[in-house]
A and B are shown apart, each in its own frame.
Chain A
Amino acid sequence: MHHLTDAPENADWPSHIHAVFIRAVPLTTEEEGVALAAGAWLGGDRSALLMQSSGVGNCVNMLAMTRTCRFPLLMLVTMRGEFEEFNPWQVPMGTSAQSVLQLAGLDVRRVDDAGSVEPAVEWAAEQAFGHDAAVAVLLSQRLIGRKEWVR
């Protein structure tokens, strides 16, 4: 539900696809997105919840609602704390994000190469909205690369 502010310029989708087809809702904390996704579904809308791996831990209690009510949930998580991570504070949550999501009852698929992102997200959307599943796609830090810091 965040803006696609970092979409690559050569991507083969319209640059304003998020403004045309998708309403972006900024969150103050990640678990709000879990509740918002539930509310959207109650109202007949579909949503995707985007976050960084450090936000996964914030979602744990709210995911109880997803599981108990069997709400569809499509979560896309960009990973930190792994490939070429420069910030050690990102490592603990990056390391446990997948296990935390699985403990909360989500189906988790991890993607390490760009060519697999589209089929993985398509599969996840089909699972979520076709079968009322809660699914997370973890996007490896290899897809993003080393974060550059400008002094």
Chain B
Amino acid sequence: MTLHRRDVVRQLLAERGNTLVVAGLGASAWDVAAAGDDDRNFYLWGAMGGAAMVGLGLALDNGRYGETGMQPSHTAGPTRLAAVASACGIDATYDIENDADLDGLMRALAAQTDLLFARVAIAPEELPRVLPERDGRRLKARFRAAISVGGERMAGG
């Protein structure tokens, strides 16, 4: 059984609490936007490979390079992302394959205060784009305002 990406993201964010979200460029950003816009969402429209460094945590895995034509990716072969994360020293890793696993991840997310990695197996499907705000400065400013870190400046003119 394989999960559907939009459903997974909508479910994970249904009760988001204080969750801050950094979405990678392309389909990941459309998924997060489709679940409902929020000032605490930061969507990358570029900066490929940057999402995991700006934020940290969740990987939706369909074994494809979706933005360039759905060519098979390394995870369609032998690469197991949760094992990679574990080998990098992340203790809490999850391989999510079905709804029961997803429920477990929801509970783990609610209790987790440290770094967590979850890889969610999703169907390789092409969905209508849901485009969020694309003004980078506005995205940055509203995110910082939402977590109350905006406004501070060094002294001096």
A in complex with B: yes
Query: Which of A33, A64, A65, A130 touches B156 (beta carbons < 8 Å)?
Result: A130
**Stretch binding the partner chain, chosen from A7-15, A67-75, A139-147:** A67-75
Give the docked Cα–Cα distance between A44 and B147 (Å). 9
Q: How far is the CB of B90 from chain A (nearest CB, A)?
A: 14
Give the CA-CA distance A19 to B157 in the complex, in Å: 31
Q: Are B143 and A42 in contact (CB under 8 A)?
A: yes
* Cβ contacts under 8 Å, A68 to chain B: 45-46, 136-137
- The total of interchain contacts (Cβ-Cβ below 8 angstroms) comes to 71
Q: How many residues of A contact B (CB 8 A)?
A: 24
Q: Which residues of A contact B147 (CB under 8 A)?
A: 43-44
B144 / chain A contacts, CB cutoff of 8 Å: 41-42, 44
Task: Give bound CA distance, A36 to B53, whole Å.
Answer: 5
Min CB–CB distance A37 → chain B (angstroms):
9
B44 in the interface (beta carbon within 8 A): yes
**Considering the chains assembled together, what is the distance between the CA atoms of A125 and B20 in angstroms?**
27
Cα A31 to Cα B54 with chains together (Å)? 11
User: Chain A nearest CB: distance from B83 CB in Å?
Assistant: 17
Whole-angstrom distance between the alpha carbons of A35 and B44 in the complex? 11
CB of B55, distance to nearest CB on chain A (Å): 6
Q: Which residues of A contact B (CB under 8 A)?
A: 31-36, 38-39, 41-44, 61-62, 64-65, 68-71, 125-126, 129-130
Subset of 27 A-B contacts with CB under 8 Å: A31-B49, A32-B50, A32-B53, A35-B50, A35-B51, A36-B53, A36-B54, A38-B50, A38-B54, A42-B20, A42-B54, A44-B147, A44-B149, A61-B46, A61-B47, A64-B47, A65-B44, A65-B47, A68-B45, A69-B136, A69-B137, A69-B139, A69-B140, A70-B137, A70-B140, A130-B154, A130-B156
